[in-house]
Amino acid sequence: MPSYIITCKPDATDDDVQAVKEHARGQGGEITHEYSLIKGFAVSFPDDTAHTLESHPHVENVEADSKVHTQ
């Protein structure tokens, strides 16, 4: 399942963030992590689904989740 990090706009209220989560769930997404330092969350979607989170008015950024390595 592809996973994405969703960052909401800095001026998004808690209700706005909740609306984005509901939008993701409505498109078949499963919230896998909620962040406290940023207004955002991680969401996984089944392989055969498309989502429109980029066009949500409270979303600032959508990026593919990936592993980070240190050297």
- How do the domains of the chain map onto residue ranges? 1-46
Residue (of 42, 52, 44, 59) closest to 5 by Cα position: 42
Task: Please determine, for residue 38, whether its predicted confidence score (pLDDT) is greater than 80.
Answer: yes
The whole-number pLDDT of residue 11 equals 96
The whole-number pLDDT of residue 53 equals 87
**Predicted model pTM:** 0.86
Report the SS3 class of residue 59: strand
The whole-number pLDDT of residue 70 equals 85
